[in-house]
Amino acid sequence: MKTDKALIKALKRNATELPYSFENRVMHQILFEAERKGRLSYYRSLGLVSFVSLVLIAGMLYMLHAYFNINFLDVFARFKFSNVEIATVLTDQTRPIFAFSIYIGLLMLFLLGMDHLFRRRFQRNKKG
């Protein structure tokens, strides 16, 4: 019986008073840290995926060049442009670089479009 009374008395007693809005500030700080860790994790995974992709592309280019004797400047030099204004600016030396730049630009547009599509779908699924 004495232990029950002692427990009730200990539970009713408020030993420490917390400062005003202490709980709100602590929760805000906890949520901020969780968000920061989430962003950090996202950027780390994005960097890792980018690095692995670049290594895979470099390995593929090396394999094509070393084992199959494919010269990429010759591949891009075969592109001919029929437009007269472009043909006067481009020479045999600059044509492969221009063709490769167009290829990279189209690839980037495709990837940005896919990124936009997936982000829209993700946000729509997150809201619904």
Mean pLDDT, range 106-123, rounded to an integer: 91
- Pair 82, 118 in one domain: yes
Tell me, what DSSP letter sits at residue 19? P
Is 77:95 a contact under the CB 8 Å cutoff? yes
**Tens of pLDDT along 34-54?**
999 999 999 999 899 999 999
Distances (CA, A) of 104 to 12, 21, 78, 111: 71, 54, 17, 10
- Pair 93, 105 in one domain: yes
95 within a domain of the structure (yes/no) = yes
Q: Is 81 helix (H, G, I), strand (E, B) or coil?
A: coil
- Pair 80, 127 in one domain: yes
**Cα 26 to Cα 21: distance, rounded to the nearest angstrom:** 9
